[in-house]
Structure 1
Amino acid sequence: MNKAPLPAVIQAGSGRALSRAGFLSLLNTYNCYLKDQTQLHLTYSQGHGGQVIVEGFLNISWGVRRPIRLKIQDDKQILPLQSPTSVDPTSQNSPLGSKSTMSRWGEYSELHQIDEMAETEAAQETVVKDPLPGPPVYETATLRPMRHRSPELEPESNLVRCMSDVSLVKRRKGRGKSAAQREKEKQHRFSINGHFYNYKTSIFTPSFDTSTKVRISSRMTTDQVIEQLLNKFKIENDPQEFALYCVHQSGEKRKLSHRDHPLWERILQGPSDDIMKVFLMDMHEEEVSNDVAQYLNLELPILDQFLLKLREEENREIQRVINKYQHQHRLLSHMLSFKTSPHIETSV
């Protein structure tokens, strides 16, 4: 935390300002509420020009209705590879070539090819270790020995597909590692409520109102926070498909604009999710104003009475407009008839 004296007025987002005492009071209240979770405490520092920058974790709840798509791999720089001209499986340039040739993740068109590679290797080991009596049996379409799927192969195949984004080559390379080491290597990709990448279920909708945390600063705008969240979980969807909404306990739902700063919104509303939650929702989710939200928790008969009163008021307003129109119409008609009446001249 910066020990430099804070300015007398602190900008709290777009068009809002806090006094120094008010800012420190909000920050202390926020951290005292989370006293047992010191890793979630907010810290502040001063940037260039004396601007106060707050950093910490923002709790965001999932409220999307459309399915999201997870990336197969992390954002890594993979050099473009020329497609091999030969499809000979014994060639060194083939992805299914000898074991001495290491292949990079991205050389396979899809995960089925990696799974096929695992089955081929297991079949070859089965043929070598347990040769069948009699003449060798070959597949009809190729000259490879007939493969026999063992009961242990299916669980292993599913395990390959369920891995987050670790290729088969890396898995085979780390066979001698302990379970703790393999678990540690898998943590480079975060899961959405325990859901790691699985090519069968890579498109899914997170459970509504489940929460996650993302580390941001008070300088980050709404769009930047959404991008940070999508990058954390390796989501392929366009950030423009989503928006952040502040959902209050009363039922009010307000959409944050592109220039808003979500961390300042959280600080001003306090740390309690019971009072206000920040939701990631679809871009065109309908907002609920505070005037409408105050009626949401009322009983249905009371709401019917409110609707009846509103209809009566609406009918009175309509009748008032009709009466005013008729009065103006009569007045204008009288004026026009006077203007168009013939003028009679008299001579003396």
Structure 2
Amino acid sequence: MLFPLQNKDGTYTGFIKVHFQMKRRTSFYLPKDAAKHLHISSETRVREVIEALLNKFTVVDNPAKFALFERTEKQSQVSMRKLSHDERPLYLRLCAGPSETVLSLVLKENQTGEWDAFSFPELRNFLRILQREEEEHVRQIVRRYTLARDMMKQAMARITTPG
């Protein structure tokens, strides 16, 4: 981190370094252990940092699909905390001091199951896909039971009843 510069209005600007930690395949390529420096203001919030990072890589994904985490390490114990959208990363970085082991910033994909990260049209499309899969599954079950019923009827017809 470079030293921050104070502006006349009391705000300050400086650089933060954000590491990328993408476990799953994403819609864009990132080399392993990728990191990006951003020049931001003390007023810049997490949401804006995520948007700026996606813009730098020309990623058109919904920013809500990503989250910024604070990674801390104390006595070989690593912990991660998801930052809220209102937090200010430059302030956190300055309070922690220059050591990245004390605090580093990491961009990760939101956990699956956080459906609010998707837009309404994306959610509607997911529902459409699930509906089609469900209908196909029901058709397969009905076919299987119809076939079993027909086979039982044929077997019963072959059985001669004592008369």
TM-score by length of 2: 0.61
Is 1:257 aligned to 2:81, yes or no?
no
Aligned to 1:219: 43
Contact 1:65 1:205 in 2 (8 A): no
1:236 to 2:63 alignment? no
| Equivalences for residues 49-198 of structure 1 within 5 A | 52-69=10-27
* CA-CA distance at 1:205 after TM superposition: 4.4
Residue type of the alignment partner of 2:3: H
Distance change >3 Å, CA 42–CA 212, structure 1 → 2: same
Is this contact kept in 2: 1:64–1:206, CA < 8 A? no
Matching residue of 1:44: 6
Residue 104 of structure 2: which of 268, 277, 280 is its match? Answer: 277
Deviation at 1:265, TM superposition (A): 0.7
Distance 2:62 2:23 in 1: 15
Inter-partner Cα distance in structure 2 for 1:66 and 1:45: 40
| Greater radius of gyration (CA) | 1
Residue 29 of structure 2 corresponds to residue 204 of structure 1: yes
Unpaired runs of at least 5, structure 2: 113-163
Contact 1:67 1:205 in 2 (8 A): no
User: Alpha-carbon deviation of 1:235?
Assistant: 1.2
Give the Cα–Cα distance (whole angstroms) in 2 for the partners of residues 235 and 213 of structure 1.
17
How far off its partner does 1:215 sit?
A: 1.1
**Structure 1 residues 214 and 232: CA distance shift in structure 2, 3 A:** same
Structure 1, unpaired ranges of 5+: 1-33, 35-39, 70-202, 286-348
- Opposite residue 94 of structure 2, the aligned amino acid is I
Q: TM (normalized to structure 1)? A: 0.30
Aligned equivalent of 1:86: none
Letter of the structure 1 residue corresponding to residue 24 of structure 2: R
1:22 is matched with none
CA contact (8 A) 1:53 1:219 kept: yes
What's the CA shift string for 1:282-339, capped at 9, x where partnerless? 1228xxxxxxxxxxxxxxxxxxxxxxxxxxxxxxxxxxxxxxxxxxxxxxxxxxxxxx
Contact 1:62–1:206 at 8 Å: present in 2 too?
no
Deviations 1:14-56, CA, capped at 9 Å, x for gaps: xxxxxxxxxxxxxxxxxxxx6xxxxx32101132xxxx21101
Counterpart of 2:71 in structure 1 is 247
Higher strand share: 2
SS class of match (2:53): helix
CA deviation string 1:109-135 (max 9, x = no partner): xxxxxxxxxxxxxxxxxxxxxxxxxxx
How many residues are paired up?
109
